[in-house]
Structure 1
Amino acid sequence: MDEFVARSLDEIRFWSRIMKEHSLFLGLGFRAEDTQLKNEANQFYAVFEEIERRAYEFQPETDPHIIQAFNTEVRIAATNIWAFKRKVLGLILQCKLPGQTNFPLLVDHVSREANYFRNRLEELNSGTLEPLPDAIIDENVFFLKIMADHAKFIGHLLDPSERKLVDQAREFSNDFDKLVFQAVDLSHMRPQSQTVPLLSQFVDENRVSVKSLRDFKKTARDLIEECRIKSIIHPLLADHVFREAERFLFILDMFDQSLSGVKVNKREILY
């Protein structure tokens, strides 16, 4: 099995679905009169639905050159939806879409994910993936911020009368804000901070918090699907944020294995 092919298909299968769902969520937040923006969102939904379908047709034995071309095609689509999201953010911040219901932070959030996706595809095609120590810090800086945002969105989209759940979401928001600052501090201390003991503790601590948030999201998703709590959270959005927490946990587990010497010799991550 070609590792380049496997990693490329894994990224595209996961993130193309995320991009497709972003298109749906943005479209739901536009006003009735925003027909052009709604049409653009619908077009992106169709584009990424087709990309997702095609990604599952490829096999791990597919010619790497075919996957490289597919990566390039998908990267262009990811760049286009990134530009659309930034355009929407600009319109919102300039008060040109009064009454629409997409939070500015949410639009920025989904644009960061599109940027992450296109950069990952570029790295795969160029063969310039980050060294493990840098990947550990940069992936955590990115995903911790994503998790912090999710906690804020959940807190704001739950009905205010769900006081206990709103308080739990606020606590997760505060927890992950602190973890983001810790990750940024560790990043600023590079390369001296990139020792096995520090990185191992960093990964372990973050994993504990992400597991707790993942479980909270799962509970919220199940309660929303069963109509047992009051909120304006779309059931698909609840599942969407749960899947992203699962993705982060998967990445943290891979880092933990590498730091433990399962896949990467410890000497390779010492400066």
Structure 2
Amino acid sequence: MADHFVDRSLEEIRFWSRIMKEHSLFLKLGFNCDDTQLIREADRFYSIFENIENQSLAYSSDTDPQTIYDFNKVVHGAVCHIWAFKRKVLELIIHCKILGNNFPLLVDHVSREAAYFMKRLEQLNTGTLDPLPDAVINENVFFLKIMADHAKFINHLLDPSERKLVEQARDFSHDFDQLLFQAIDLDSMRPESLTQPLLDQFVDQNRVSVRQLRDFKKTAYELIEACRIKSIIPPLLADHVFREASHFLEILDSFELELSATK
């Protein structure tokens, strides 16, 4: 159990600290050049999460659980601060106090991911991870919206002349909105909806769609990296959303294995 706590904590921190680090960079790139205070704050968070990422890589499965418990608390504090920064930026944008190229939905999106990371660290340190049936629904409600958001961002950042890719991104946005609505319906039907057949079908259906979106993102990243399509999507952003889709797919794969083991 202690080994599982250490491994799970390090897995989450290594993945999400890199995501938080990159969020800092993306927000910075979206600020106007005269938003110097916000740029400095974004740079500071980039350094903080780069340090956290590097520290996590220095630990291993053999690290003392108490050390990881304490590390989780330190990381949790940093995530709380970047979440507050993101919500401050969202307020400034919505109240028209700053301009720039950060969509309000994008800033809300990255703040939701910070809130998710905070909650996961709390669950790990208190030993209160969701039971499998609840985890299946909760993770899907969260990640399906993340995937739907990604499709919308890709759609808006591609050059309009890339008509086929724009159309594909729009279709993915619609498809994942529908999958999200289904997940929310299943959520509202709890606890009655927590049955093996429903959860099996739910995971299977979503795995197919996430795999297709993951492959689309991979292709888009490769095309952007090779300068073969027209867009204002940085290669790092394309890789970022690809990694998040891959992460969600890994979660769904693990759910499938766990559900199969309970039959």
TM-score (norm 2): 0.99
**Paired position in structure 2 for 1:186:** 186
- 1:128-172 Cα offsets, whole Å, 9 max, x none, are 111111000000000000000000000000001101100000000
The residue matched to 1:255 in structure 2 has which SS?
helix
Matched residue SS, 1:134: helix
Aligned residues: 262
- Residue type matched to 1:194 in 2? L
Give CA deviations for 1:210-241 in whole Å, capped at 9, x if unaligned: 00000000000000000000000010000000
Structure 2 partner of 1:105: 105
Are 1:242 and 2:242 an aligned pair? yes
The Cα shift of 1:96 comes to: 0.7
1:79 aligns with 2:84: no
**Shift of residue 59 of structure 1?**
1.0
Q: Structure 2: give runs of 5+ residues left out of the alignment.
A: none
What is the CA RMSD across the aligned residues, in angstroms?
Answer: 0.6
| 3-state DSSP of counterpart to 2:32 | coil
Matches of 1:47 and 1:158, distance apart in 2: 31
CA distance in 2: counterparts of 1:149 and 1:66, whole angstroms: 36
| Structure 2 counterpart of 1:228 | 228
1:176-215 equivalences in 2 (<5 Å): 176-215=176-215
Where 1:190 maps in the other structure, the secondary structure is: coil
In structure 1, list runs of 5 or more residues that go unmatched: 267-271
Number of the residue aligned with 1:269: none
Write out per-residue CA displacement over residues 240-263 of structure 1, whole angstroms, 9 at most, x where no aligned residue.
0000000000000000001101xx
Partner Cα distance (1:62, 1:168) in 2: 45
2:93 — aligned with what?
A: 92
**Whole-angstrom distance in 2 between the partners of 1:165 and 1:254:** 31
Distance in 2, matches of 1:145 and 1:74, equals 25
C-alpha distance in 2, partners of 1:188/1:203? 17
Quick one: distance in 2 between partners of 1:123 and 1:192? 24
Q: Please report the TM-score for the alignment, with normalisation by the length of structure 1.
A: 0.96
Paired AA for residue 91 in structure 1: L
> What do the CA deviations read for 1:157-207 (whole angstroms, capped 9, x no partner)?
000110110000000000000000000000000011010000000000000
Residues 63-86 of structure 1: per-residue CA shift (max 9 Å, x gap): 000000000000000010000000
Identical residues among aligned pairs (%): 70
4+ runs deviating over 6 angstroms:
none
